Amino acid sequence: MNQIDRIRWKRTLRTASSERWLGVLGDRDAVAIDLHHLPDGTAAGTVTVVEGGGIDPGAVPALLERFDDDFLPGIDLDEGGVSLTVVYARSAEQYERARTDA
């Protein structure tokens, strides 16, 4: 099984027009995809590949095609329906401010 087939996807955020996906390889965060569904039926987003997460940069085109096939029904990367910017990051962390009740 290749590295793309081993990615486990988890949707971490969804709104009416956007969503965030986290791809995990083994026990490491490997890639995050922030996707925005546009009114004209296309989608645009940012793909953040985390250094040391196990994704070979040469596999990124296959990763994008697989994501498109699995999670974007009716939108086709090959036909220009999806625009993705790929960013390579040294690390990724999530910060949230704790809610306080007054």
pLDDT in tens, 60-71: 999 999 999 999
What was the pLDDT predicted at 92?
A: 61
Is 39 among the domain residues? yes
Domain membership of residue 26 (yes or no) is yes
Assess if residue 94 is contained within a domain. no
The token duo for 47 is 């793909």
**pLDDT per residue over 61-102, tens digit each?**
999 999 999 998 888 888 889 999 999 998 666 777 777 776
Average of per-residue pLDDT across 7-21: 96
Alpha-carbon distance of 68 to 16, in angstroms, equals 19
The pTM (predicted TM-score) of the whole model is 0.84
Per DSSP bridges, beta strands 28-37 and 43-50 are: antiparallel
For 26, the domain range is 3-89
Q: Is 94 helix (H, G, I), strand (E, B) or coil?
A: coil
Token reading at 14? 């969804």
pLDDT-above-70 percentage for the chain: 95
Could you tell me if residue 12 is inside a domain? yes
Domain total of the chain: 1
